[in-house]
């Protein structure tokens, strides 16, 4: 019987075998306030170049200094009560970074748990196409990180099909090859 590693131990092992590589990561934390100590521990072990955290549940009452990580800059986009004027279904935080002389546009993307219906899926598809086209016009290399609350591993269903189409059209490579969250209803 194979012993399964805790995900942080597994990532730490990957990090140790690639110490000079830039490590880019995403975490859907579902409320940062009470879990910041875990974020600090993760970053201490993984030393990430870019760390996108979604579903923080922060607002302007939480100052940046409360979540300061030494040697890192905080870029945040707190959720507003009203949806974004630009997008109805996704929240996007773009950040252009330079890794050893190579420009990379990192898109932190979050989409709240989905609503059903053809119009919803049409809007998600249009908005993802728009934001990726815009980002690629800004920078030759693109990294998308986040939680779309869509299942790419269901290629015969609409949500999986349009994500795969988006990858193929833009020559993206998806690193997710197995479910990242398993629940009784997933």
pLDDT above 60 for 2: no
What residues have CB less than 8 Å from 19, skipping those under 6 apart?
A: none
Cα distance between residue 38 and residue 36, in whole Å: 5
Cα distance between residue 123 and residue 158, in whole Å: 13
* pTM of the model as a whole: 0.86
Q: Which pLDDT score, from 0 to 100, does residue 1 have? A: 36
Fold observed for domain 80-185: Aminopeptidase (3.40.630)
Backbone angles phi, psi at 113, to 5 degrees: -45, 135
pLDDT above 70 for 27: yes
Domain ranges of the chain: 1-77, 80-185
Using one digit for the tens of pLDDT, what is the confidence trace for 79-137?
Answer: 765 555 578 899 999 999 998 899 999 999 999 887 778 899 899 999 999 999 999 99
CB 104 within 8 A of CB 142: yes
Q: Categorize the per-residue pLDDT at 75 as very low, low, confident or very high, splitting at 50, 70 and 90.
A: very high
CA angle 46, 132, 125 (to 5 degrees): 110
Cα distance between residue 41 and residue 36, in whole Å: 9
């Amino acid at each position: 019987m194979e012993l399964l590693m805790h995900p942080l131990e597994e990532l730490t092992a990957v990090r140790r075998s690639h110490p000079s590589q830039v490590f880019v990561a995403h975490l859907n934390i579902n409320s940062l306030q009470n879990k910041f100590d875990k974020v600090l521990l993760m970053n201490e072990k993984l030393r990430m170049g870019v760390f996108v955290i979604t579903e923080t549940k922060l607002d302007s009452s939480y100052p940046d200094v409360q979540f300061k990580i030494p040697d890192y800059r905080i870029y945040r986009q707190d959720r507003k009560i009203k949806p974004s004027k630009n997008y109805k279904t996704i929240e996007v935080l773009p950040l252009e970074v330079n890794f050893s002389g190579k420009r990379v546009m990192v898109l932190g993307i979050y989409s709240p748990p989905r609503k059903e219906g053809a119009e919803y899926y049409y809007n998600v598809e249009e908005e993802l196409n728009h934001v990726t086209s815009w980002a690629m016009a800004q920078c030759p290399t693109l990294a998308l990180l986040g939680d779309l609350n869509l299942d790419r591993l269901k290629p015969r269903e609409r949500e999986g099909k349009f994500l795969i189409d988006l990858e193929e059209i833009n020559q993206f490579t998806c690193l997710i090859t197995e479910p990242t969250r398993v629940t009784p209803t997933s």
